[in-house]
Amino acid sequence: MATGQEPNTTSVELEKHEVALIVGEEEGAMSVRVVAGSEMPEDSTDLSAAPEIVLALAMRLLKDPDFHDEVLDWYYEHQDDPDDEEESEE
């Protein structure tokens, strides 16, 4: 990066109870980061549901190449699902 240029970043504010899964791609390689709205102890074995789900998704994305394709297949199959639209209108 040349001197004087700002990095191409976006900031997101998380509530203390929120956890974000950040998925990126650079030069064909996937990157996955987990960011918590509050400090999470690194050695903790007892996580609440939100961080545990996000960490599980991150691990699966990184370690199971077929999962990426399964997620995309599911997304494309449900993208125009009329049942989902009816439920959201209620």
| Residue 27 or 87, more confident | 27
pLDDT in tens, 42-78: 776 777 888 889 999 999 998 998 998 899 899 999 9
Residue 6 has what DSSP assignment? Answer: P
Residue 45 has what DSSP assignment? Answer: S
What burial class does residue 55 get, using C-beta atoms within 10 Å of its C-beta: 0-12 exposed, 13-18 middle, 19+ buried?
middle
Length in residues, the chain? 90
Residue 20 phi, psi dihedral angles, 5° rounding: -115, 140
pLDDT in tens, 1-32: 455 566 788 888 999 989 999 999 888 888 89
Give the residue from 53, 62, 42 showing the smallest Cα distance to 18.
53
